[in-house]
Amino acid sequence: MHSFPKADVPVLQLSIDARQRFEYHLDLGARLQKLRERSVLVLGSGNVVHNLRAVDWSQPDQGFDWARRFDDAAREILADRPGEILRLQEHPDFRRAVPTPDHFLPAVYVAGLAAAEGRPARVLVDGYAYGSLSMTAYLLDVDRPKGMQDPHPAAGLPDLALVPAEDTNT
């Protein structure tokens, strides 16, 4: 999704330390809340379901049943109780949906941040691709905190709507 087409916002990319347990990433996501108090936009990209070994090229806009089940479970947790995202490790489809953590961990960061702020995450990008990929990505609101007087606030996002997966590059 081309959120900032003029590329007029500063960007700092954080690397994911895959050696760390999921709890570490959830806690780090919660600690990013201090940046949001200063109007910093935190963006986590990735796909909740990302199994390249199971890709079915004949299903460009579809998701396997197991991918949909896992994605639906993640959506429910992120919308209702984001601090419980690590319970998804107990989901019967977890190993198939998350064979490696690199695309799932951004959702864990967003969940930690959402839990720290006491608010749900909402869907930014939705859809499935090639059976074994969900294009689901999440965000929190991007409203500036009330009463904050920052002389150099971070840029806000344009109005966002659910965008079909094929129209995104987030």
The predicted-structure confidence for 153-169, as pLDDT tens digits, reads as follows 444 444 445 545 455 44
Give the integer Cα–Cα distance in Å for 28 and 111.
Answer: 10
Phi, psi of 159 (to 5 degrees): -60, 130
List domains and CATH numbers for the chain. Answer: 22-141+163-167 (3.40.830.10)
Q: What pLDDT is stored for residue 163 in this prediction?
A: 47
Share of the chain above pLDDT 70, in %: 77
Query: By C-alpha distance, which of 37, 38, 49, 31 is closest to 112?
Result: 31
Could you tell me which residues come within 8 angstroms of residue 75 by beta carbon, excluding any fewer than 6 positions away?
123, 136
Give the integer Cα–Cα distance in Å for 140 and 138.
Answer: 7
